[in-house]
Amino acid sequence: GIQVEQSPPDLILQEGANSTLRCNFSDSVNNLQWFHQNPWGQLINLFYIPSGTKQNGRLSATTVATERYSLLYISSSQTTDSGVYFCAVAMDSSYKLIFGSGTRLLVRP
Amino acid sequence: KAGVTQTPRYLIKTRGQQVTLSCSPISGHRSVSWYQQTPGQGLQFLFEYFSETQRNKGNFPGRFSGRQFSNSRSEMNVSTLELGDSALYLCASSALSATYEQYFGPGTRLTVT
């Protein structure tokens, strides 16, 4: 099956710093989503981005489908950005999301 | 538009019992998927339902089952609970439009003692 690898596994930043999270996947996908899991466990949609670039405030994402990777950029990080960020993909018109193991981000004041 | 809702939010059960979790999708969404999250295995796909039919199933034992009703609400059932079934169970819904974007509910945290 498709493999999804996220890096780095852990990241500690000072408030105001920028960061880049990476997601590599092993096969062609028709869905790629980035999520932020809040402290209560809910997955918050950040981006639906099977290809191309999108921006939403301080967050942006780029997926290069031909090279099978996606990047999530967080600029001017805030303590509220802390949590776990997941990349998830699906193949072949399927709704079966395969998740990476996540990047745990801690932003210190 | 209201988001995906899941009930109950927290549940404590004893080994050997069974449990039923409920999920109401976003209004108009007809696909509902279930996922299990544990510290050891991460987030894993359980199954997906559309129009009351299971279309896709993950690699879980037969103790895990689900169904979908005509109003798109879904339930999942776990029989003969084991300690390892303790997990956060997440439900997601999708609109089956041109995109495959899924939206998640707040989850049900199940503890098996």
C-alpha span between A20 and A13 (Å, rounded): 11
Contact A98 B90 (CB under 8 A): no
> Nearest CA to CA, how far is B56 from chain A (Å)?
7
* Residue A94: per-residue pLDDT: 79
> What percent of chain A has pLDDT above 70?
100
Q: What angle (nearest 5°) sits at the alpha carbon of residue A67, between those of residues A66 and A68?
A: 95
Whether B1 shows a pLDDT value over 80: the answer reads no
Whether B98 shows a pLDDT value over 70: the answer reads no
Contact B88 A41 (CB under 8 A): yes
- Within 8 A of A97 by CB-CB distance, chain B residues are 33, 35, 43, 45, 92, 102
What's the rounded mean pLDDT across residues B60-77?
97
| Contacts across the A-B interface (CB distance below 8 Å) | 61
What's the rounded mean pLDDT across residues B90-96?
91
What's the rounded mean pLDDT across residues A33-55?
95
Pairing of strands A103-108, A10-14: parallel
Top pLDDT among B16 and A38 is at B16
Pairing of strands B108-112, B10-13: parallel
* Residue A100: per-residue pLDDT: 98
A37 φ, ψ (degrees, to nearest 5):
-95, 120
What's the rounded mean pLDDT across residues B36-63?
95
- Within 8 A of B26 by CB-CB distance, chain A residues are none
What's the rounded mean pLDDT across residues B35-56?
95
Q: B10 vs B36, B79, B86, B91, B110, CA distance in Å?
A: 14, 17, 11, 14, 6
User: pLDDT confidence of A96, banded at 50, 70, 90?
Assistant: very high
Contact A95 B56 (CB under 8 A): yes
